[in-house]
Amino acid sequence: MTTAYQKLTHSFTRLHRYQHLMSIAGWDQMTFMPPEGRAARAAAMGEMATLMHRTLTDPQMRDWIAAARSETLDPLEQANLTEMERAWRNEAVLPEDLVEARVLASSRCEHAWRTLRQANDWAGFLENFREVVTLSRRAARLLADASGVSPYDAMLDLHEPGMRSHQLDNIFGAVKTWLPGMIATARERQSHTSPILPRGPFPIESQRALGVKLMERLGFDFSAGRVDVSIHPFCGGVPEDVRLTTRYREDNFTQSMMGIIHETGHARYEQNLPRDWLGQPLAQARSMGIHESQSLSFEMQIARKLDFLTELAPLLNVHFGRQEAFDPANLLQLTTRVRPGLIRVDADEMTYPAHIMLRYEIERALIDGEIEPEDIPALWNEKMQAYLGLDTRGNFKDGCMQDIHWPEGIFGYFPSYALGAMYAAQFFATIRRSAAESDSFAQATDWLKQNIWIQGSRYATDELVSRATGETLNPAHFRAHLQSRYLGG
Amino acid sequence: MTTAYQKLTHSFTRLHRYQHLMSIAGWDQMTFMPPEGRAARAAAMGEMATLMHRTLTDPQMRDWIAAARSETLDPLEQANLTEMERAWRNEAVLPEDLVEARVLASSRCEHAWRTLRQANDWAGFLENFREVVTLSRRAARLLADASGVSPYDAMLDLHEPGMRSHQLDNIFGAVKTWLPGMIATARERQSHTSPILPRGPFPIESQRALGVKLMERLGFDFSAGRVDVSIHPFCGGVPEDVRLTTRYREDNFTQSMMGIIHETGHARYEQNLPRDWLGQPLAQARSMGIHESQSLSFEMQIARKLDFLTELAPLLNVHFGRQEAFDPANLLQLTTRVRPGLIRVDADEMTYPAHIMLRYEIERALIDGEIEPEDIPALWNEKMQAYLGLDTRGNFKDGCMQDIHWPEGIFGYFPSYALGAMYAAQFFATIRRSAAESDSFAQATDWLKQNIWIQGSRYATDELVSRATGETLNPAHFRAHLQSRYLGG
């Protein structure tokens, strides 16, 4: 006889296979799809989203979950059931018409955003964006009512299960007390040095070859994944076939190179999720914050260090011709320069949290109904002034219209970026303590594999982090990391 | 109130969207997917095939079709309903477990075939192939029982609706009486001329650029499609986003070039199916034979003519450097050489039908249970000897194991290739009659667009062809075409 738990695993395997087709279609949309394919693709993916919602909210699902709770399950099955229930609950409270309306509105808004951002057209954007906010608030309210948290916290929980805004307020509140001062001190220190800039052009074919070399060195499995080009780099696909992307500029290779290293961190997490459980919720990455901690482990903790850059320098000489700028010490200076700027994705490690705090504060107020979409530009400017001393008035393109997340109806995701940096610093503090000699790449990735990657969603985030590091999230490690790297300890 | 017909259109739109994801995943599988993605992809596509079968065979479908028959429909809706009913009937007779078993067995066999063919391992192949034949026979029997035709005819009908083997026997029986003699005469005539061979290498980047140029010239819409590389060239994707592929060899550009021209014929048909009906069965290509008639219209009727080759010659000079071999008259000789060979996909226009007749005779006997899989090699050799005078004993690789169709469980498809050549000849006989001056490219494609492409599946094949040419399929046009081209009229 098939148990209720087994029936659930079959349904989730089916969902995983549907998601496989969605992931590949989504990857294709960003990489190779010609423009006229857009409407048909949106319709096909929308249809699939509806089907997945319907599959997950099938009335039987509730009964199976209830029945499975009283079946005898081992701890892994129990953890899997917990994740199934979470996935089910988050979908079951949303009516199908709302799910469909959100897909359509955000697809329309995201598409409009692509041109409106270029045109710096905030008013035009607002017309499309209002509907996205209205529908997102409605979804957040339904999720909130079901879980007893605030609407924004309900959204946050989708990406960062267990995290609440009062924790973020504490974390970011503390960061705000020391970050502006630390940025000022670091900039003052760096004003005495001027790294040599590499001279381009850097042919795209050479950048591509270098990227592949680095991915191989960083352990990416090319028999189970690819790297391609897209305007907005991402790591997608499925664990068995990870698709990451980058973009190239002939006048600058570091952006693409660091982007590839970043995405390779995401990719190794995906490629090392628990194989025996693939297809089940247990085998999914723990949270977006933990996912980002892996990309930032690669990009910030591993790649921006002298031992890695010493290995990198000869590769740069081979691919771009010998340059003085490729001296490891110079590369370190280049990749750790602190420079407040308007664009989040171009931000350095130290100013990055400011970009996140700003977005977090605005999107929380927006979803909780404390502000309206038209209030965003003024708030954006006010906070950019306060955190980074930059004026963004009238510059919507490089201000509140710069990210794809809000146009796509994604709220509660931004904090994951900052949390990821904090988790990464905490992990590497532990790795350094436990390392016999140096924190070599092999030691570090073995630690990440054992403690994070193969754990999937077995434990709640707090437990995962405690088991790995002996304590729950402690932002002091991030501050110490910045201090050590930028203020010399 | 929603009519039964409207309910049907909604279901078929949904199926079309599912098919969109399948097509893109299938295209990706052939072009970019890394090897380790195979199992997960097969599982995902198998799941989707099951879902589509289930959607099409939903018990409500029968009732809606019955009800729609007595609703007031205009002629186009009526034609759409006819196609819906055909699609439904062909699926409804197949139980889900048989559908799933066929997907699994053919996926396994096709995968094994890739290496076993290289190893010339017929015995190893047979082990995988038996199951495919058993399951295909079972499906053919169920389809046959429901429609009152023979099992093979039931398979044939899936690809070439309305066509029956007794018609093919007549057509191919006639071809057999004149083809061997015509091949001998053509070869004798060609023995007095020896075209100059182009000298390679032909850099792949130049071939790619030439291919894109030709596709543009042939009217391919790159805003709604792409060209990529795969081992087995095909035309896939969806009408809004047509994906064709080719393969390149540095020592030979004509294969890839003619392949691209061929696939562009398929692509233009897809890109010009009736836009207002996209998503409905009415907007699908009429049959595989008609589809092939479009690719062969481009490859054989348009491209292998002096006016096209005169336009091509300067392009070759630009892309590969000037060569005497690129003289139009020489190109015509090169592309119309008659040379019996072992490989179907490399065959010239005149010997090609022999490859098809051979396969047709074997697969019909196989599906109707007159022979067993182990009988194939001897029959293959016997027929290759009879039709083309070639010995294939012991050479399974370039003999009965050369095609992907049978390993994939596709039977009844091969005749479409020969029928396509015949339809193309018939269409161009009409185009020449109706052309004011010369049969220019624009005139020809306009005729094809009006008479074939935008008609979709509005008419049954016989009616489509009669309306376009004044008569149903008449193989005399194909014979006349060969005579005119190869025997000087």
DSSP track, B287-318 = -HHHHHHHHHIIIIIITTSHHHHHHHHHHHHH
CB B25 within 8 A of CB A22: no
Distance, in Å, from the CA atom of B362 to the CA atom of B380, rounded to the nearest integer, reads 8
Distance, in Å, from the CA atom of B190 to the CA atom of A36, rounded to the nearest integer, reads 47
Token output for A341: 């700027």
- pLDDT number for residue A141: 98
- pLDDT number for residue B259: 96
Token output for A69: 């709770």
Ranges of residues in chain A whose predicted pLDDT is under 70: 435-439, 489
Coil, helix or strand at residue B241: strand
Using CA atoms in the order B182, B183, B186, B187, what is the torsion angle rounded to 10 degrees?
-150
The answer, for B18 touching chain A at a CB cutoff of 8 Å, is yes
The answer, for B89 touching chain A at a CB cutoff of 8 Å, is no
The answer, for A100 touching chain B at a CB cutoff of 8 Å, is no
Min distance A306 CA to chain B CA atoms (Å): 34
Using CA atoms in the order A43, A48, A53, A54, what is the torsion angle rounded to 10 degrees?
100
Nearest beta carbon to residue B226 from set A21, A34, A228? A34
Distance, in Å, from the CA atom of B5 to the CA atom of B410, rounded to the nearest integer, reads 32
Mutation for B interface: A22, A36, A238, most B CBs within 10 A: A36
State how far Cα A284 lies from the chain centre.
Answer: 14
For the stretch B436-483, pLDDT in tens is 655 589 999 999 999 999 999 999 999 999 999 999 999 999 999 999
Min distance B2 CA to chain A CA atoms (Å): 18
Residues 219-238 of A with CB under 8 A from B: 221-226, 228, 237-238
Token output for A125: 């954007």
The 10 Å Cβ neighbour count of residue A397 is: 18
Token output for B321: 């450097």
What is the gyration radius of the CA atoms in chain A, in angstroms?
23
Min distance B42 CA to chain A CA atoms (Å): 10
Size of interface A-B (CB pairs under 8 A): 103
Nearest beta carbon to residue A224 from set B34, B45, B226? B34
Distance, in Å, from the CA atom of A11 to the CA atom of A50, rounded to the nearest integer, reads 15
Give the residue carrying structure tokens 């400017």.
A381
Q: Which residues of A touch B277 (CB under 8 A)?
A: none
At A387, the amino acid letter reads Y
Distance, in Å, from the CA atom of A439 to the CA atom of A424, rounded to the nearest integer, reads 14
Q: Is the pLDDT of residue B489 over 60?
A: no
Coil, helix or strand at residue B228: strand
Q: pLDDT grade, residue B1 (50/70/90)?
A: confident
**Omega before residue A34 within 30° of 0, cis:** no
Domains observed in chain B: 4-149 (no CATH), 204-336+417-486 (1.10.1370.30)
DSSP calls for A192-241: T--PPPPP----HHHHHHHHHHHHHHTT--GGGEEEEE-SS--EEEETTE
Interface touch B41/A17, C-beta < 8 Å? no
B67-70 contacts, C-beta under 8 A, 24 or more apart: B67/B3, B67/B4, B68/B3, B68/B4, B68/B5, B68/B8
Partners of B226 in the β-ladder: B243
The 10 Å Cβ neighbour count of residue B341 is: 13
Interface touch A35/B223, C-beta < 8 Å? yes
Interface touch B21/A20, C-beta < 8 Å? no
Strands A241-246 and A235-238: antiparallel
The 10 Å Cβ neighbour count of residue A126 is: 18
For the stretch B263-295, pLDDT in tens is 999 999 999 999 999 999 999 999 999 999 999
Q: Is the pTM of this model over 0.90?
A: yes
Strands A235-238 and B235-238: unpaired
Element (H, E) at B14: helix B4-31
Nearest beta carbon to residue A34 from set B32, B51, B241? B241
For the stretch B198-249, pLDDT in tens is 999 999 999 999 999 999 999 999 999 999 999 889 999 999 999 999 999 9
Interface touch B40/A241, C-beta < 8 Å? yes
pLDDT above 90 as % of chain B: 96
Distance, in Å, from the CA atom of A65 to the CA atom of A61, rounded to the nearest integer, reads 6
Active site residue B299: no
Interface touch B20/A40, C-beta < 8 Å? yes
Q: Which residues of B touch A14 (CB under 8 A)?
A: 47
Distance, in Å, from the CA atom of B199 to the CA atom of B202, rounded to the nearest integer, reads 8
Residue of B nearest to A240 (CA): B37
Token output for A325: 């700028």
- pLDDT number for residue B231: 87
Contact partners, residue A77, CB within 8 Å, separation at least 6: A5
Min distance B255 CA to chain A CA atoms (Å): 25
Q: Which position among B77, B83, B110, B263 bears the catalytic label?
A: B263
Coil, helix or strand at residue B460: coil
Distance, in Å, from the CA atom of B231 to the CA atom of B233, rounded to the nearest integer, reads 6
**Omega before residue B201 within 30° of 0, cis:** yes
Write down the ipTM of this complex.
Answer: 0.94
Element (H, E) at B139: helix B122-147
Distance, in Å, from the CA atom of B146 to the CA atom of A200, rounded to the nearest integer, reads 70
- pLDDT number for residue A440: 86
DSSP calls for A389-409: ----TT--TTTTTS-STTTTT
Token output for A149: 């948290």
Phi, psi of A242 (to 5 degrees): -85, 125
- pLDDT number for residue B232: 87
- pLDDT number for residue A231: 87
The 10 Å Cβ neighbour count of residue A294 is: 28
Residues 260-279 of A with CB under 8 A from B: 278
Question: A283, A275, A288: which is closest to A221 by C-alpha?
Answer: A275
Residues 430-489 of B with CB under 8 A from A: none
